[in-house]
Amino acid sequence: MASFKYSNDFHSRLKKSDRELLVKLDEDPVFHQFYINGFPPGRMSAMHIKSVLDKALNNIWNLPKWGFNKPQNLFEVSAVLELYFHIVSELFKMSEYNALYIGGKIQSHLIPVPQNIDKNKWGPA
């Protein structure tokens, strides 16, 4: 059985953009890093769906009368991301491909920001 190894080094000390992303993530879990692999048409479709639905969901979350809340933590963000993949999986059932290149149980690996990262400084020590 093959194993999948995943990690994120969070180059927040040497890469300013990574540090800024981590600071934004503290402010709002919607600012997350997102990695995707797989069959190119499925991967590209997922990215397109994500870009369109991100805008739609933000519009919905900004309507307090509707009562829907934007994700408040990593687990809720994961649920939204899994929604995007579910849509792509359903699209493959209606595709011209002989095999379901994307389908089955959606697998997500959540990598929380390590607690000991100093988000106030960046650059060489």
d(CA 28, CA 103): 30
Domain, as residue range, for 78: 31-118
Does 123 reside within a domain? no
- Please name which of 78, 59, 61 lies closest in space to residue 70, comparing C-alpha atoms: 61
Does 13 reside within a domain? no
Which of these ranges, 9-13, 44-48, 86-90, 113-117, has the smallest mean pLDDT? 9-13
Confirm if 17 and 76 have CB atoms less than 8 A apart. Answer: no
More confident residue, 104 or 93: 93
Confirm if 80 and 45 have CB atoms less than 8 A apart. Answer: no
The total number of structural domains in the chain stands at 1
pLDDT at position 55 is 92
Question: Angle at the Cα of 35 (from 33 to 38), degrees rounded to 5?
Answer: 165
Does 75 reside within a domain? yes
pLDDT at position 12 is 63
Does 21 reside within a domain? no
Side chain identity at residue 44, one-letter code = M
d(CA 85, CA 78): 11
**In this predicted model, what pLDDT tens digit does every residue of 33-53 receive, in sequence order?**
777 777 888 889 999 999 999
Please compute the mean of the pLDDT values over residues 92-107 and round it to a whole number.
80
Judge whether residue 80 has pLDDT over 90. Answer: yes
- pTM, 2 dp: 0.74
